[in-house]
Structure 1
Amino acid sequence: MKSKIRAAAVAFGVFAVGYYLYYGLTNRPDEVTGSMLGWVGPQMALPIIAATLVPMAFAFTGDGILAAFTGRNSSEFRNAEVGIGTITAFRQTGVSVNDQPQVRIEFRVEGGDGKVFDSHAKMIVPLTELALLQPGVVLPVRYLPGRTDKVEVDRSGDTGVAQRAMNESLIRKGITTRGKLDIAERGLAAQAVVRRLDVPGRIRGGYTEVVLGLVVTRPDGTTFETSAEKYLPPTAVGLVQVGRIVGVHYLPGNEQEVVIALPVNA
Structure 2
Amino acid sequence: MKNLSRILWTLGFIMIFGTIMYLIFFRDTTSVDFFDNSIFRIGIYGGIGLLVISSIMSFVGTGNMMRIKNGEAALGIIRSLAQTGTYINQQPQVEMQVDVIKKTGESFQSSLKAIIPLTQLSALQIGAPIPVVTNEQQKVALPKAGEPTLTQEEMQELFEEFAVKTGMMDSEALKISKEGITSYATVIGMRPENSMSDAKVNVWLDLEVALKDNTTQPVSIKKTVLQEALDQVQPGKVIEVIYLEHDPEKLVIKTKNVAGAVFGSALGDK
Corresponding residue to 1:107 among 85, 96, 109? 96
- CA contact 1:83–1:165 (8 Å) conserved in 2: no
Query: How far has the Cα of 1:246 moved from its partner?
Result: 1.3
CA distance in 2, matches of 1:217, 1:135: 29
Is residue 2:135 matched to residue 1:141?
no
Structure 1 pair 120–182 and aligned structure 2 pair: CA distance change class (3 A): same
State the structure with bigger RCO (CA 8 A, min sep 6), 1 or 2: 2
Query: How far has the Cα of 1:216 moved from its partner?
Result: 0.8
Residue aligning to 2:143: 153
The 5 Å alignment of 1:213-228 reads 213-228=206-221
- CA contact 1:82–1:143 (8 Å) conserved in 2: no
The 5 Å alignment of 1:65-214 reads 74-77=68-71, 79=72, 81-85=74-78, 88-89=82-83, 106-112=95-101, 115-120=108-113, 132=120, 136=124, 138=128, 139-144=130-135, 146-148=137-139, 150-153=140-143, 155-157=147-149, 158-201=151-194, 206-214=199-207
Structure 1 pair 194–81 and aligned structure 2 pair: CA distance change class (3 A): closer
Letter in 2 for 1:246: I
Residue aligning to 2:40: none
| Percentage identity across paired residues of the two chains | 21
Show CA shifts across 1:116-157 (max 9, x none). Answer: 4333358xx9xxx88656661642212346444x42338434
Letter in 2 for 1:249: I
Report the count of equivalent residues: 186
CA distance in 1, matches of 2:123, 2:191: 27
Letter in 1 for 2:191: D
CA distance in 1, matches of 2:88, 2:214: 54
| Aligned-CA RMSD value | 3.9
CA distance in 2, matches of 1:104, 1:176: 31
CA distance in 2, matches of 1:134, 1:153: 21
Corresponding residue to 2:242 among 234, 246, 249? 249
Using the size of structure 1 for normalisation, the TM-score is 0.54
SS at match of 2:212: coil
- CA contact 2:176–2:252 (8 Å) conserved in 1: yes
Using the size of structure 2 for normalisation, the TM-score is 0.53
- CA contact 2:93–2:113 (8 Å) conserved in 1: yes
Give unmatched runs, 5+ long, in structure 2.
1-62, 260-270
SS at match of 1:171: helix
Show CA shifts across 1:65-100 (max 9, x none). Answer: 9x9xxxxx85421x3654324764476668xxxxxx
Structure 1 pair 194–121 and aligned structure 2 pair: CA distance change class (3 A): closer
Letter in 1 for 2:70: E
